[in-house]
Amino acid sequence: MSIESLYRRVREGHREAETQLFQHLSDRFRLFVQQRIRNREDSEDVVQQALATIAEKHGAVDFQISFAGWAYKVLEHKVMDYFKTERTRQKHFGSLPDSDCHSRSTDLDPIVRQHMLQCLTEVARANRRFARILNLSYQGYGSDEICDKLQLNKAYYYVVLSRARSMLENCLTKGERRHHE
């Protein structure tokens, strides 16, 4: 069941749908955040903060686009807040060794990692620009830097990024591949 259909059921008052919705969001958010924050405890904290914000505010928000889009925006803001806090901490306390840090590739279950790599390969076969944007984004480049590197205007960058993420999501969740030009 999709995030949007689960959310519709939540709005209709189905309590079991709310549990399913937050479990679904939790699973997806963990994958998203673990790609950006290497420390497991920190990434879990960010996921929980985002879920708490969503649980608190979802009933009062009128969604212009989609619930899923709003939920991912909340998560992205929590990730950005984490990095702002980390930068401030490093300014004040210097760079402290992080013995808890693991490489990104070891954070994922080997089966999930292989599936992710297969899907990224499919995206690259379908459209190399999509793969480059996903790769640069994963590496931590900001939108301005990616636009400069690939000589894109910002509006087109966001369109391409959205399509690339959609293609990757379809492959990961359903094994489907949609071609975008």
pLDDT digits (tens, 9 = 90+) for 17-69: 888 988 989 888 988 888 888 888 888 999 999 999 988 888 777 766 688 88
Structure tokens belonging to residue 136? 């640069």
Residue 1: both structure tokens together: 């069941």
Specify the pTM. 0.49
| All structural domains of the chain | 3-93 (1.10.1740.10), 108-174 (1.10.10)
Structure confidence at residue 95 as a pLDDT band (50, 70, 90)? very low
Cα 63–chain centre separation: 19
Q: What is the reported pLDDT for 102?
A: 40
In the chain, the amino acid numbered 115 is H
**Residue-by-residue DSSP string for 57-73:** HTTT---SS-HHHHHHH
Q: How confident is the model at residue 48, as a pLDDT?
A: 92
Gap between the Cα atoms of 140 and 87, Å rounded:
14
Q: Which two tokens stand for residue 161?
A: 């990024």
The C-alpha atoms of residue 172 and residue 181 are separated, in whole angstroms, by 20
Give CA–CA dist 104/169, Å, rounded.
19
